């Protein structure tokens, strides 16, 4: 049961990072649109989806809380300030996206575009750092809380090499996802530029993942590096659907690699291995697990079906050429 | 202030802020669904314009509700990790199910509705907004069930080894007598909040388009009916509270001694101490009636409850902040009643009544038209319900103190053990700044959207893109 819920939890986080990853990427690449019109077209590719994508975060955090309350409590309170920063940036980003088109002045839209690009970049860097920290471990004490005083208590983990490498990998991953998605979903100049970005970033992403894979000895990450490299080649040959799928696959593989890096240990303590948090140690009681199993089995397939349906409804490419009105 | 007080303040700030937008989204979703169904049934274009207008307000409000709601989900781990560990078995599944069941529905179907006008058959398109409306109600119910556990813990067993609460029955959690009473009360308040916004916009813009008169009246009906539901369910909720949290109701009246046929003070001047205040307007027996259903009923006083709790839970103060409880309770009722009165007066004055009623002064004539003063005070229509909702929550949550989950877990024991004051000050500053900016942007946008003409011909000129624009 615990293994099953661990699998569900990893699945929820994978879906979150892949789905919201591409809309973060589009946000980072907002300025591939040279004018307000092209930017509007780029953003319309994610318009109907980003909110549904973000709910995977609600689901992932909810499942973490429900199935592994100790893990949730330890991770959130240990990374207090990075998590607050992610939340604030998510707030700015969500509102910038929803408010952008509701006002007609160019300055309002330009400000919204800028806020969107900056917040998307910030969120991706922070999430990448958090994933890096997950692999590296935290200075957890016996009570499952990170040690330290003042602002440094929860900020210092951000200043480790693991966090930096994670942030870099996440940025490249999101840019690749965003670029391949834009290439797949637009026409005209935005599509061309997005394809160029994907071509050029593919190699850099592959090299970063290769370094991480060698550093951590994770075969999954090495495989992901190869797939990313292939995605870059596919983008060169205008195989847009395939190259997006390849990037999505490698992001998924990397996230799985992060969550399974230490076997049964879900949160490593760098102070004393005995203080590390294990799956069974962090898991909720049997009744809670039974309940979310029933709920999950009943609800999640439906969610997947209607989300897939919404992707089908909005499957048309978005024109980025200016249409004479 | 120490870390505990700062963290409590932060929780209060982000929760109250979140709850300014949530009730508006809940009721606007239902209003948009209602307008769209009216459009389909009557083929009257007016309802189509109102559907689209309400939909835009809904989208911008929902956006703020979503991003501030995300903070709520993280809060329990961020500042209250000890509580999350203790209570995770009960609260975690509840939150997870809310996310999986209701929130996915709301987010996905709202996008399908908003962007799907010309991509879906009309009946299917209407169904999507109905799904959104149902999703918001489901969300509200599940979250209220989680909150009701904190007011009246049910369906749990304390693990003797770890000292943590374990869920024993989800059905029992969902049928907690507190949530059964609190849900209609909260939804009535939500209808008032959204209705107030629609009524105010309708009144301001009535000269621009006749459809705005319909909007203002629909909003006023939402306020009036919502208010009636709130009042009736509030009476019931009061009785449930008197049974499960007697201290809360005693604090609401600052009633120190156990009293038979206890009065209810409408207003008081002076200290709310053991002696009755030096001036107060009291209605004899009303508190007993509110709490027990009988004017002669006995209501337990603060002193006796304090003695009882000390014997039961050990030494310590079990008395919440009396002035906060006393005044938020009255302000909640007052703001709600005033909002209802405003709505009733607007309905009366904008009624198409064929002739004058003899003997009534002109400002009381039905159909006399919306007087100038009402137009100026229209801003009160959304503010009064918002105030009533806020006071209601502040009352519910502060008069539960010192408990987090009544009788089993105290607030002071719930905070993240390692948290430092510097961190909370930094995050509180961040929340204040970003939430302030969100509020400014939201207000500007609502004003801007309200000023636009309703008719689509002009709207199309505003949006040059051939594809539905953001």
pLDDT digits (tens, 9 = 90+) for A23-58: 999 999 888 888 888 888 888 888 888 888 888 898
Beta-carbon count within 10 A of B110 CB: 28
- Of the pLDDT bands very low, low, confident and very high (cuts 50, 70, 90), residue A135 is confident
% of chain B surpassing 70 pLDDT = 94
Mean pLDDT lowest among B51-60, B106-115, B452-461: B452-461
C-alpha–C-alpha distance, residues B206 and B216, integer Å: 8
With bands split at pLDDT 50, 70 and 90, how would you rate the model's confidence at B276? low
Chain A residue numbers touching B111 (CB-CB < 8 A): 47-49, 51-52, 310
Q: How many CB pairs under 8 A join A and B?
A: 270
Q: What angle do CA B232, B235, B238 make, to 5 degrees?
A: 150
pLDDT surpassing 90 at residue B253? no
Q: Is the pLDDT score of B469 beyond 50?
A: no
Strand, coil or helix: what is B416? coil
Burial tier of B178 (Cβ tally within 10 Å: 0-12, 13-18, 19+): buried
> Would strands A277-278 and A265-267 be described as parallel, antiparallel, or unpaired?
antiparallel
Distance CA A94, CA B59 (A): 11
> What is the average per-residue pLDDT within B312-321?
88
Question: Among A11, A52, A138, A143, which would you mutate to test the B interface (most chain B Cβ atoms within 10 Å of its Cβ)?
Answer: A52
Cα angle vertex B378, ends B375, B379, to 5°? 135
Q: Which of A51, A57, A315, A317 to mutate to test the interface with B (most CBs of B within 10 A)?
A: A51
Q: Rounded CA gap, A223 and A254, in Å?
A: 9
Q: Do B467 and A149 touch (CB under 8 A)?
A: no
For residue B462, list chain A residues with Cβ-Cβ distance below 8 A: 104
Indicate the Cα dihedral angle A144, A148, A154, A158, nearest 10°: -110
B427 and A62 within 8 Å at the Cβ level: the answer is no
What mean pLDDT do residues A204-228 have? 80
For an interface test with B, give the residue of A27, A38, A99 to mutate (most B CBs within 10 A): A99
More confidently predicted of B226 and A245: B226
CA nearest to B463 within chain A? A104
Residue scoring higher pLDDT (B274 or B7): B7
Do the Cβ atoms of B438 and A37 come within 8 Å? no
A141/B418 CB distance under 8 A? yes
Those residues with Cβ within 8 angstroms of residue B99's Cβ, 6 or more apart along the chain or in another chain: A55, A58, A59, A61, A62, B73
Mean pLDDT of chain A: 84
Contact A245, A228 (CB under 8 A): no
Higher pLDDT among residues A242 and B312, named by residue: B312
Instruction: Answer whether residue B298 shows pLDDT above 80.
Output: yes
The answer to whether B466 contacts A73, with C-beta atoms less than 8 Å apart, is no
Kindly state the percentage of chain A with pLDDT values over 70: 98
pLDDT at residue B199, as a whole number: 94
pLDDT at B277 over 70: no
A243 in contact with chain B, both atoms CB, cutoff 8 A? no
Q: Strand B259-260 to strand B298-299: parallel, antiparallel, or no bridges (unpaired)?
A: antiparallel
Does the pLDDT of residue A5 top 90, yes or no? no
A75-115 pLDDT per residue, tens: 888 899 999 999 999 999 988 888 888 887 888 888 888 99
Give the pLDDT confidence score for residue B103 in this predicted structure: 86
The 10s digit of each residue's pLDDT in B355-385 is 677 777 777 777 666 677 778 888 888 999 9
Secondary structure (DSSP) of B259-290: EES--EEEEEES--SSSPPSEEEEETTHHHHH
Start-to-end CA distance of chain B, whole Å, equals 44
The verdict on a CB contact (< 8 Å) between B78 and A49 is no
pLDDT value of position B459: 44
Q: How far is B301 from chain A (nearest CA, A)?
A: 38
Mean of pLDDT values over B206-224: 89
Q: How far apart are CA A219 and CA A254, in angstroms?
A: 10
Provide the token pair at B34: 């209602």
Which positions in chain B touch A75 (Cβ < 8 Å)? 77
Whether ipTM tops 0.95, in short, is no
pLDDT score recorded for residue B368: 65
**Helices A240-259 and A219-236, axial angle in degrees (round to 10):** 170
Q: Which of A:140-159 have CB within 8 Å of B?
A: 141, 143-151, 153-154
């Amino acid at each position: 049961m615990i293994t099953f819920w661990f699998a569900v939890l990893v699945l929820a986080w994978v879906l979150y990072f892949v789905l919201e990853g591409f809309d973060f990427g589009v946000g980072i690449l907002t300025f591939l649109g040279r004018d307000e019109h092209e930017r509007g077209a780029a953003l319309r590719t994610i318009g109907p989806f980003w909110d549904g994508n973000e709910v995977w975060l609600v689901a992932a955090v909810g499942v973490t809380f429900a199935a592994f309350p100790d893990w949730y409590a330890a991770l959130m309170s240990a990374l207090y300030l990075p998590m607050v920063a992610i939340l604030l940036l998510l707030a700015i980003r969500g509102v910038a996206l929803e408010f952008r088109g509701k006002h007609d002045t160019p300055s309002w839209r330009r400000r919204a575009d800028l806020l969107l690009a900056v917040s998307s970049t910030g969120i991706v860097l922070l999430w990448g750092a958090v994933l890096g920290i997950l692999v590296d471990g935290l200075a957890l004490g016996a009570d499952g809380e990170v040690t330290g005083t003042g602002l440094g208590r929860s900020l210092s983990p951000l200043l480790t090499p693991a966090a930096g490498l994670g942030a870099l990998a996440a940025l490249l991953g999101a840019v690749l996802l965003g670029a391949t998605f834009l290439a797949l979903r637009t026409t005209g100049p935005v599509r061309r530029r997005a394809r160029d970005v994907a071509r050029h970033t593919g190699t850099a992403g592959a090299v970063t993942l290769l370094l991480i894979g060698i550093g951590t000895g994770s075969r999954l990450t090495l495989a992901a590096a190869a797939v990313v490299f292939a995605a870059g080649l596919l983008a060169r040959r205008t195989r847009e659907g395939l190259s997006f799928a390849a990037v999505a696959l490698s992001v998924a593989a990397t996230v799985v690699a992060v969550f399974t890096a230490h076997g049964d240990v879900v949160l490593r303590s760098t102070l004393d291995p005995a203080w590390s948090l294990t799956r069974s140690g962090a898991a909720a009681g049997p009744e809670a697990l039974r309940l979310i199993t029933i709920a999950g089995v009943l609800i999640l397939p439906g969610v997947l079906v209607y989300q897939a349906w919404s992707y089908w409804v909005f499957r048309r490419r978005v024109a980025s050429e200016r249409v004479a009105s | 202030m120490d870390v505990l007080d700062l963290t409590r303040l932060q929780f209060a700030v982000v929760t109250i802020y979140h709850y300014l937008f949530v009730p508006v989204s809940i009721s606007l979703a239902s209003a948009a669904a209602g307008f769209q169904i009216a459009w389909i049934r009557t083929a009257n274009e007016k309802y189509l314009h109102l559907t689209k207008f309400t939909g835009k307000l809904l989208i911008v409000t929902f956006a703020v509700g979503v991003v501030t709601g995300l903070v709520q989900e993280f809060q329990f781990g961020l500042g209250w990790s000890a509580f999350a560990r203790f209570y995770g078995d009960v609260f975690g599944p509840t939150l997870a199910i809310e996310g999986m069941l209701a929130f996915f529905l709301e987010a996905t179907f709202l996008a399908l509705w908003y962007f799907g006008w010309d991509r879906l058959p009309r009946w299917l398109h209407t169904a999507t907004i109905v799904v959104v409306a149902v999703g918001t109600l489901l969300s509200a119910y599940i979250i209220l069930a989680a909150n009701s556990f904190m007011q009246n813990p049910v369906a749990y067993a304390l693990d003797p080894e770890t000292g943590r609460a374990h869920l024993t029955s989800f059905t029992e959690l969902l049928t907690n007598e507190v949530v059964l009473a609190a849900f209609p009360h909260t939804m009535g308040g939500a209808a008032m909040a959204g209705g107030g916004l629609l009524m105010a916009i309708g009144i301001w813009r009535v000269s621009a388009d006749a459809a705005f008169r319909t909007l203002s009246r629909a909003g006023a009906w939402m306020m009036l009916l919502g208010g009636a539901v709130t009042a009736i369910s509030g009476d019931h909720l009061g009785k449930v509270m008197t049974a499960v949290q007697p201290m809360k109701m005693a604090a609401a009246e600052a009633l120190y001694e156990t009293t038979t046929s206890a009065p209810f003070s409408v207003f008081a001047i002076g200290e709310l101490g053991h002696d009755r205040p030096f001036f107060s307007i009291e209605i004899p027996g009303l508190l007993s009636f509110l709490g027990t259903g009988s004017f002669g009923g006995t209501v337990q006083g603060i002193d006796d409850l304090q003695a009882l709790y000390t014997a039961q839970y050990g030494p310590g103060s079990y008395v919440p902040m009396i002035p906060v409880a006393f005044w938020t309770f009255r302000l909640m009722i007052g703001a709600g009643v005033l909002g209802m009165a405003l709505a009733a007066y607007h309905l009366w004055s904008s009624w198409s009544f064929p002739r004058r009623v003899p003997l009534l002064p002109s400002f009381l004539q039905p159909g006399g038209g919306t007087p100038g003063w009402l137009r100026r005070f229209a801003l009160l229509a959304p503010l009064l319900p918002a105030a009533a909702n806020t006071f209601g929550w502040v009352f519910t949550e502060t008069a539960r103190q010192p408990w987090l989950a009544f009788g089993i877990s105290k607030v002071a024991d719930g905070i993240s053990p390692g948290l430092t004051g510097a961190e909370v000050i930094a995050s509180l500053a961040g929340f204040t700044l970003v939430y302030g900016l969100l509020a400014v942007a939201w207000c500007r946008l609502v004003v801007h959207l309200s000023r636009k003409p309703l008719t689509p011909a002009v709207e199309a000129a505003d949006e040059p893109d051939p594809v539905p624009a953001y």
